[in-house]
């Protein structure tokens, strides 16, 4: 009863085994969906670029979405994207064309990823995040609600360069990140900050404009009185080190290389 086979496949679509697709969802030409994925009602996968409406010879770029995804209702994923396994979205998330999103990522309700973006593995973009073209996020980067990244320093211009945010960094809610800014590894950007200059590894920055406050390794948890960062030692839910601890996971990964 959950899925009524009232979706629409347009053109050449490759659907894996045990994929379930909601009502009114449209999957366009040249889309591949991995096994066991769920695409809820009213989604669009492989949304064509606007040329589609004006050029009869338009061909849709290839779109690939990995296995075990859960794409919630009203999500729109444009053509030309490559997205890994275990991908999740909230409601009404949009992902424009030609982005690459790794494995185990999530994109929250009403978040808007503008295309030509690179997102690593295990990134979590919460609700209503805006990521402009040519932004790069490493792995385990969490971006909290309402964060806005930018890509044009002298608008309007013909140069677009988004932020580059490295592994494990946390961008708190309501922050604005200026174009081309590099935020190093293991950083914490405080809520409501406006980041106008590069941030070194292990920095807490805060304010408008954001200033260095302290090394994150000096921040105490608000759960206990102990030091909280690097957070990988204290937060494991959904992380690949959930069962073994972060250090064991790191050495396992090093051995694997």
Residue 17 engages its own copies in binding (rule: CB under 8 A): no
Q: How far apart are CA 174 and CA 99, in angstroms?
A: 23
> Taking Cα atoms as reference points, which of 189, 167, 143, 90 lies closest to residue 132?
143
219: three-class secondary structure by DSSP: coil
Residue 110 engages its own copies in binding (rule: CB under 8 A): yes
> Taking Cα atoms as reference points, which of 224, 203, 227, 226 lies closest to residue 213?
203
Which segment (98-106, 115-123, 175-183, 248-256) binds its own copies by CB under 8 A? Answer: 175-183
Residue 59 engages its own copies in binding (rule: CB under 8 A): no
Enumerate long-range contacts of 225-231, CB under 8 Å, 24 or more apart. Answer: 229/186, 229/188, 229/202, 230/168, 230/186, 231/168, 231/170
Instruction: Phi first, then psi: give them for residue 248, nearest 5 degrees.
Output: -65, -40
221: three-class secondary structure by DSSP: coil
DSSP letter assigned to residue 164: E
Nearer to its own copies, 14 or 70 (CB): 70
Residue 57 engages its own copies in binding (rule: CB under 8 A): no
CB of 41 to its own copies, least distance (A): 8
Which segment (79-87, 115-123, 139-147, 247-255) binds its own copies by CB under 8 A? Answer: 139-147
Nearer to its own copies, 136 or 177 (CB): 177
Instruction: Phi first, then psi: give them for residue 217, nearest 5 degrees.
Output: -75, 0
> Taking Cα atoms as reference points, which of 127, 128, 125, 68 lies closest to residue 99?
125
Which segment (59-67, 105-113, 115-123, 240-248) binds its own copies by CB under 8 A? Answer: 105-113
Residue 37 engages its own copies in binding (rule: CB under 8 A): no
Q: Which of 27, 30, 44, 45 binds its own copies (CB under 8 A)?
A: 44
Q: What are the residues binding its own copies (CB under 8 A)?
A: 1-2, 10, 20, 24, 26, 38, 41-42, 44, 50, 52-53, 70, 73-74, 76, 90-92, 94, 109-110, 112, 114, 127-128, 130, 132, 142, 144-146, 148, 150, 153-159, 170, 172-174, 176, 178-180, 188, 191-192, 194, 207-209, 219-223, 228-229, 231, 234-235, 237
């Amino acid at each position: 009863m959950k899925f009524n086979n009232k979706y629409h496949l347009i053109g050449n679509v490759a659907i894996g085994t045990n994929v379930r697709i909601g009502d009114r969802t449209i999957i366009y030409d040249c889309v591949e969906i991995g096994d066991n994925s769920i695409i809820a009602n009213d989604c669009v996968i492989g949304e064509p670029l606007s040329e589609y409406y004006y050029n009869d010879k338009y061909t849709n770029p290839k779109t690939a979405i990995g296995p075990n995804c859960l794409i919630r209702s009203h999500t729109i994923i444009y053509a030309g994207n490559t997205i890994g396994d275990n991908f999740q979205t909230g409601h009404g998330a949009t992902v424009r064309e030609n982005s690459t999103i790794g494995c185990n990522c999530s994109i929250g309700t009403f978040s808007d990823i503008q295309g030509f973006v690179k997102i690593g593995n295990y990134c979590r973009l919460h609700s209503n995040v805006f990521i402009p073209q040519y932004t790069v996020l490493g792995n385990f980067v969490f971006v909290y609600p309402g964060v806005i990244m930018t890509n044009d320093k002298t608008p309007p211009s013909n140069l677009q360069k988004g932020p580059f945010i490295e592994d494990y960094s946390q961008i708190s809610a309501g922050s604005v990140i200026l174009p081309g800014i590099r935020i190093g590894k293991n950083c914490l950007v405080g809520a409501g900050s406006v980041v106008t200059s590069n941030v070194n590894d292990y920095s807490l920055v805060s304010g408008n404009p954001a200033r260095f406050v302290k090394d994150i390794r000096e921040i105490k948890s608000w759960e206990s009185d102990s030091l909280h960062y690097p957070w990988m030692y204290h937060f494991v839910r959904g992380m690949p080190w959930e069962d073994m601890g972060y250090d064991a996971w790191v050495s396992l990964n090093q051995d694997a290389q």
